[in-house]
Amino acid sequence: MNYPREQRFKALFDLVSSATIYGIPAFKFCTRKYMTWTEVTEALQPALVQQQGSQRASSFRNYGETLWTPEVYEWIYIMHDPNDEIIPATYVNNYLDAIEAVLMPDPSGRQTLGGLVEHCYIDGEVVADEGNDPSDVQIVIKVPVKINTGI
């Protein structure tokens, strides 16, 4: 599969930013420009920030073509009210479910981002800071996603 990188990353971003929770859009603000949670105001949260990570290259079995496996980090920033009845872990669980749902494989067992890649999936340690301290109301979630460009 020979598609430009930019199309792959944009397709992933478009898919993840379309996530919903109970039928409501999951994010108020989405960007592919990396920003920390301190740069995203409370009014813009919940927010999605897609960050490109490393890109692993390996030999492809047909004529030396390169197989690329880029890593992407989907950062989710959510401000919560410490006086709310909803515990921070509930936000984390709902957002992870929403990301997992949009990355669900098609009937072939793969998420191809509309035919641009061989497979796209969550892979690695998901890290979440629930902001449980009463003075810390910021939830930060980091979801690692891998893209396999071909078999």
pLDDT tens digit sequence for 21-79: 999 999 999 999 999 999 999 999 999 999 998 778 776 666 667 777 889 999 999 99
Question: Where are the domains positioned within the chain?
Answer: 5-148
More confident residue, 34 or 107: 34
The CATH class of 5-148 is alpha beta
Q: What is d(CA 102, CA 132) in angstroms, rounded to the nearest whole number?
A: 28
**Cα–Cα distance measured from residue 147 to residue 151, given in angstroms and rounded to the nearest whole number:** 11
